[in-house]
Amino acid sequence: MNLSQTVLGIEFGNPTVLASGILGITSSTWKDVAKKGAGGITTKSLWAKEHKGHPNPTIIETEHWMLNAVGLPDAGPAKAQEEIGDYMKDHPVPLIANIVAGQIDEFAKAAEGIVPLGPDAFEVNISCPNVEDEFGKPFACSAPDAAKVTAAVKKIVGDIPMFVKLSPNVDNIGEIAKACQEAGADGFTVINTVGPGMAIDLRSRMPILANKVGGLSGPAIKPIAVKCIADVYAATDGKCPIIGTGGVYTGEDALELMLAGATLIGIGSAVARHGAEVFADVCEGMQYWCTNEGIDNIADLVGGMHKELASRNA
């Protein structure tokens, strides 16, 4: 059973990708994650200049969900450039550089610093809910704003493939995706965290997170991820590859996101909870299921739900 795919000209040995923001930003950590079975790596969100995150506590975790208000801390471009530069020297699996900013020209500046390092792709984070207080609504909440960021970054990255990371916290994610596709997005990452949400400590009667609210991730968000992926796939006529992300812990979770339209599978909270061994476990689960079902090529499953619905309605 073949788990490998070429996506926007990039070769992935298997569909799993480390999601942004999980496991820091060092080259040695990324190499370790690759060795343990990830098909690709996404960096945490990188800014054009140093950015302070939120105070502790920033993360709450249960078996069913995770709330985080890490606040996208970043030591600044020099550190990121050093680590990406080192990783790209031997480059065991593709690297996707995730960038973020509060203003459109700052997105372009963040991309400019990374282009010379030769990442395999960019991911543009227009969707982080827990920095909303600093910048107003995320760009991902408005089709014209999302399109403006997309066009500005595409102008800088040129032929390097660019995924735009979308928010589930919108009325019509398909409309946002379509606007970004028209503005030059090559693919999408669907979804960033849901919410924000809140958890309260019973004794102190206070929100547990210092930031009060945080983005929701983990098993609880998988059905939302599936719906958003299906909507983006339909709105873009299946023409833009999707890194489906949200609540993947098993091979069957990954296959479900693929049937909705994902080509690659981002894994975040499961890595935070179970370690990087989860990549090999998810791949083994996909292999097992596909072998039993007589499926030779994982790519044949992408968008399978849409094809099945169409054939039943024909």
Ligand X SMILES: Cc1cc2nc3c(=O)[nH]c(=O)nc-3n(C[C@H](O)[C@H](O)[C@H](O)COP(=O)(O)O)c2cc1C
Q: Which residues are near ligand X by CB under 6 A?
A: 19-22, 44-45, 59, 66, 68, 70, 72, 98, 125, 128, 165, 192-193, 217-218, 221, 245-248, 267-270
Nearer to ligand X, 14 or 217 (CB): 217
Nearer to ligand X, 59 or 210 (CB): 59
- The single residue listed with the structure tokens 């399109």 is 147
Question: In whole angstroms, how close is the CB of 246 to ligand X at the nearest point?
Answer: 5
CB–CB of 101/51 below 8 Å?
no
Question: In whole angstroms, how close is the CB of 17 to ligand X at the nearest point?
Answer: 10
Question: In whole angstroms, how close is the CB of 291 to ligand X at the nearest point?
Answer: 25
* Cis ω before 191 (30° cut-off from 0): yes
Question: In whole angstroms, how close is the CB of 106 to ligand X at the nearest point?
Answer: 15
Residue with nearest beta carbon to ligand X: 21
Cα dist from 37 to 112, 247, 253, whole Å: 30, 18, 17
Active site residues: 128
- How many beta carbons lie within 10 A of that of residue 90, not counting itself? 8
Nearer to ligand X, 266 or 303 (CB): 266
DSSP state of 254: H
Nearer to ligand X, 157 or 270 (CB): 270
CA distance 127 to 190: 10
- Residue 36 CA to its chain's centroid (Å): 19
Backbone angles phi, psi at 269, to 5 degrees: -55, -35
CA distance 126 to 104: 10
